Amino acid sequence: MSYNGYITETRIDGSDDGPLAGRSIAVKDNISTEGVPTTCGSAMLESYVPPFDATVVERLKQAGATIPGKTNMDEFGMGTTTETSAFGATENPVAQGHVPGGSSGGSAAVVAAGDADMALGTDTGGSVRCPAAFCGVVGLKPTYGLVSRYGLVAYANSLEQIGPIAPSVEEAAELLDVIAGPDERDATTRDATEHGETAYAAAADGDVDGMDIGIPTELVEGADKAVREQFWRAIDELEAEGASYHEVSLPSVEHAVEAYYVIAMSEASSNLARFDGVRYGVSGGYDGNWNETFATAREEGFGPEVKRRVLLGTYALSAGYHDKYYKKAQDARAWVKQDFDEALEEADVLASPTMPVPPFERGESLDDPLKMYLADANTTPVNLANLPAISVPAGETDDGLPVGMQFVGPAFGETDIIRAGSAL
């Protein structure tokens, strides 16, 4: 089955030895690769070839990995299904007729199909965890600042991180060991060793004896019945291994999706201003009027979802509306962060379904953007709070559709979520 996981197939060789020697790591197409096209799933960048490697790509090469290709994605990371790509939708290789999730759908699909050993995705509001859940593999979004964003084409820079997608928690943790750590070219990176354990692969020991799991009721109640069943079955399994759980409340998450989309679209409207056909992107020609030139480039280069978000983001930031939307969203973000911090004082990790629904049927959400946005209810709060989270397979619905379980940890507490995930 041709599921359209790659935009560009290639072979970038790494050094001869290192912890990833002999392994293939696919890279999402919004992460810069020197000499190899990096399109962000957009016609705007169809012929863009970066002159440099992202820091994570440099680290993969040094670790001995081979990069077999650049993976398909929703245009500029904007989507939950990998259907907004200018290069055609990716299909879910393990659930025919269904979407692979998004926006890193290509990365999850090539791992699920066995066409790469592992992959890198990016997660602004769930784009590593959602496709991992929908394709039945593991995906980890690191704490904001653990992994360098140098060379990542920005969508909403205050929210996003590059993260590993792999068949198992241990492999995802091995990949994290390679890409994590400070980078002088990204001033938001931190040295996590000051915050605790940083040997990620070693933490995949499955030992949850004595672990205290908080379950935010708000993130479970809204999920489909079939998803809730698999979630509670997985919790039973963890209890049998010595973990205990208690319910917690995160009242602020009711506003997380709204706050996320206001902030993400506002940042996107600013970040995507550089695609004007002069600095970057397809040329809009020139016949005496630069405004026309820019407008033509953006009209031709961007797809409908990107246009919608640039328009809404520009509106939210405009004079007179800034306080009403953007500032309110920032207040909500602070509240979400505070709620998570309080809940994590009483628990080692928090657990919820990754996605409230099983994978959509193809085409199902395209006509209804709001429906697609609301599916991000459980993932976006974690980005607002800058915390680490992992999605691991938790079972299947009666129809054989994958269900993912999300564990959220304290800032730089990646080892806690890796331990919990590896127990499942």
Amino acid at residue number 143: T
Considering 24, 32, 103, 252, which one is annotated as catalytic? Answer: 103
- Residues 394 and 421: beta-carbon distance below 8 Å: no
Compare residues 79 and 284 and give the one whose CB is closer to ligand GLN: 79
Residue nearest to ligand GLN (CB): 127
Place of tokens 């009403």: 324
Nearer residue to ligand GLN within complex by CB, 150 or 245? 150
Q: Distance (Å, rounded) from C-alpha 147 to C-alpha 127? A: 16
Residues 6+ apart with CB under 8 A from 64: 14, 15, 16, 17, 18, 19, 20, 21, 22, 23
Residue with tokens 């140098």: 150
Catalytic choice (32, 42, 104, 127): 127
User: Of 55, 64, 38, 50, which is closest to residue 117 (Cα–Cα)?
Assistant: 64
Residue 212 CB, shortest distance to ligand GLN, in Å, is: 29
- Compute the least distance from the CB of residue 417 to ligand GLN, in Å: 18
Question: 272, 232, 249, 245: which is closest to 381 by C-alpha?
Answer: 249
- Nearest to ligand GLN of 155, 245 (CB atom): 155
Q: Decide whether 80 or 189 has the Cβ nearer to ligand GLN.
A: 80
Distance in angstroms (rounded) separating the CA atoms of residues 21 and 13? 10
Catalytic-role residue among 24, 28, 107, 365: 28
Is residue 90 classed as helix, strand or coil in its secondary structure? coil
Nearest distance from residue 85's CB to ligand GLN, in Å?
Answer: 13
Residue showing tokens 């990620």: 200
Task: Give least dist CB 259 to ligand GLN, A.
Answer: 12
Is 127 known to be catalytic?
yes
The tokens describing 163, both together, are 């993260």
**DSSP code at position 33:** B
**Residue closer to ligand GLN (CB basis): 61 or 362:** 362
**Which residues in this chain contact ligand GLN in the complex, by CB under 6 A?**
77-80, 103, 123-127, 155, 264, 376
Distance between CA atoms of 231 and 353, rounded to whole angstroms? Answer: 6
User: In whole angstroms, what is the distance from residue 170 CA to residue 149 CA?
Assistant: 23
70 is catalytic: no
67-71: strand order across its sheet: 6-12, 67-71, 25-28, 118-123, 161-166, 138-141, 389-396, 402-408, 349-353, 212-216, 244-248
Return d(Cα 325, Cα 404) in angstroms, integer: 32
The DSSP secondary structure of 221-268, one letter per residue, reads: HTS-HHHHHHHHHHHHHHHHTT-EEEEE--GGGGGHHHHHHHHHHHHH
First to last CA, the chain: 30
- As measured in angstroms, the least distance from the Cβ of 31 to ligand GLN is 12
CA torsion sign for 331, 332, 335, 336 is negative
Active site residue 252: no
Smallest distance from ligand GLN to CB 11, Å: 27
Residues designated as active site = 28, 103, 127
